[in-house]
Amino acid sequence: MLPQADAALVDGQNRTRIFHGVNAVMKIFPWVPNVEVFTLDDSLAEEDWLRLADWGFTAVRLGTMWPGLEWERGVYNTTYLDVLEEIVNGLGKHGIFTLLDAHADLFNRNFCGEFAPDWAVATDGDFLPFPQPIAASIKRNASTGYPELDDCLSRPFFEYYFTHAVSYAYQGLYDNHNGTLDSFFKDNPYVLGYELLNEPWAGDIYADPELLEFGVAGRKNLAPMYEKINAAIRSVDDEHLVFYEDAVSNQGHAGFDAPPGGAAYANRSVYSYHIYCAPTDKSGDPTHVVECNLVDDYFENVKMADVTRLGGGGYLTEMGAMLESPAAADALNHLLDLCDANLQSFNYWQYKPYHDLTTASQPFDESFYYPNGTLQANKIKVLSRTYAYATAGVPRDMMFDAETGAFKFVWDSWGHTIGLPTSIYLNEAMWYPHGYSVTFIPRDGASYSSPTRNHLDIVPASTFPDSSTLTVVITPNDSQVLA
């Protein structure tokens, strides 16, 4: 067996993969992005696939929504699955993998959120009516019965997690949930994996306040549920990756002792985590960059320690949700530098608004586009950084200088055994408009070619032995070499 880096994601050809991607989560009906035609606010169509590939993105975390699949109890919408499959296959043909994300925020539209269909939600019972005790009442639409969206958005959405109704609903899910996407995507080569549940709440914190303590909700509620879902998935799909998250309420180390399925499935399990800047303004931009960076440092250290302890992979599946201000660029670059230092993949939140009713930012502010159609080009440039997305060997160090565009990558090469190149993405238009230079250490240890624009393939020299360390340095023709 070839050696692998800790927490590495390795493809079927033994290349270590690092993904840079985006989120695409449609939070209202029809629960899936528009695949027919490009739009500014809700599409994930062929024009989007081309743009994402051109910017160097190799993964999309796609909302796979329970109401879209099972709007009525026991009635499954195969058309919804067909549209998801069309998106997955379309992205895949452009080199972009899809993480199927069971997305949840606040559980249901009756609670100002999304996840469960109405039939799966109790709106009255042995709990205080929503939104108590956060507020006495909320205005509801006379036709739908849902809370008016303007009223929902009158306070930060995270506060609603502390309502009795939301806590009670999540506890019911943990006690009873067994559902999966069954076998529909089990043979799809473009599926990166399944995310079991986005940002799960701690559970019924009123019945059991201990759930708010570090690690307790993960141990008591999430781990048992994840075991059940993982067993159901593995009964039909033993190969795709399973992504699992800790409770969104937990600000410390995870309470899990092992990945879902235990050590036997560590090589097919990925600890999914989110890091968001704080404090921020209403557009998601940091109000104090140094403080934001310290928050990011803390959470990256905590999450990396959990990844190491649990085994398996790690992946920053949500971050960002910002405008393209200079402060936002500084904060994003700092977090992406942390990802590079830890050889971690990331997915930005999010590509387009997709009717995001549960965000700490504003839907268009967090997206790649302004409402008038103008690209948030500065944001895209930050995210479209140079990186080694497929390594024929073991990555050791990766560094990108956002001031100069210079890039350095160090890896133990196994190119002869694997028989494939190490592949690097670089955005020529944004970062290297005057061309670039490529050097290797040792100087004659490798050669490169550019099979297509924005891509380099590196192969070791015939005399360069496997397991030896290679370094590549890429610099804009008007820049200085990284030390």
How far is CA 402 from its chain centroid?
22
Task: Give the other-Cβ count within 10 Å of 263's Cβ.
Answer: 12
Catalytic residues: 199
